[in-house]
Amino acid sequence: LTGISREQRAFQYLLAHAIPGDPHHILQTFDQWSYHCEHLSCVGPDKGRIVERVLLEQAPLRVLELGTYCGYGTVLLAQGLPPGARLYTIEGDPRHAAVAEKVIRLAGFSEQTVELIVGPSEEVIPRLREKHGLMNANLVFMDHWKRCYLRDLRLLESHQLLAEGATILADNVLFPGAPHFLQYAKTCGKYHCKVHRASLEY
């Protein structure tokens, strides 16, 4: 009725309640909004702890996120990066990207640390090396359309964008589910697979 999207409403709440330049507080404020006001399909704190653990264990220098949405996952990833690391995040919806850009900068991350790329992942991935300077990624976080998981993994492989020993972290593979992606990851012989059990966000 207001003509303002749910994502923009969430950002207005962030502006009113979050501490600028404090990524942890920005994520907490997002969580408060999603628990008490309107649901956002962000990673959330439960699954967020899995992401944080992977970042801590691996200290990846080049991270690729597929599906920026409002920037929650981006801030979560960016705050766990080791010094000198760079995060590339791809969002297909320009309206979501506009909100995410403001969230990422509000959290205090510059374009040198986090580069937001707007466009369909199948068009952006083939251009990542020559246009954006990503030689290969040590960690890929997939949180976009589940039907695109397998296609985009194959694209990353064919364009040699996965570093040796790279980790692919894919959200919601059981529900709503990405069965073809899971089947490929388990049977192609290129990956060791582990399913993390977690509740749905919020």
Catalytic residues: 143, 146, 171-172, 201
Would you say 71 and 95 are in contact if contact means Cβ atoms under 8 Å apart?
Answer: no
Would you say 33 and 12 are in contact if contact means Cβ atoms under 8 Å apart?
Answer: no
Would you say 75 and 103 are in contact if contact means Cβ atoms under 8 Å apart?
Answer: yes
Would you say 65 and 128 are in contact if contact means Cβ atoms under 8 Å apart?
Answer: no
Q: Is 57 exposed, middle or buried (0-12, 13-18, 19+ CB in 10 A)?
A: exposed
Q: Would you mind telling me the total number of residues written for the chain in this entry?
A: 202
- Nearest by Cα to 11 from 45, 51, 42, 47: 42
Contacts of 26 (CB under 8 A, 6+ apart): 14, 18, 19, 75, 103, 106, 107
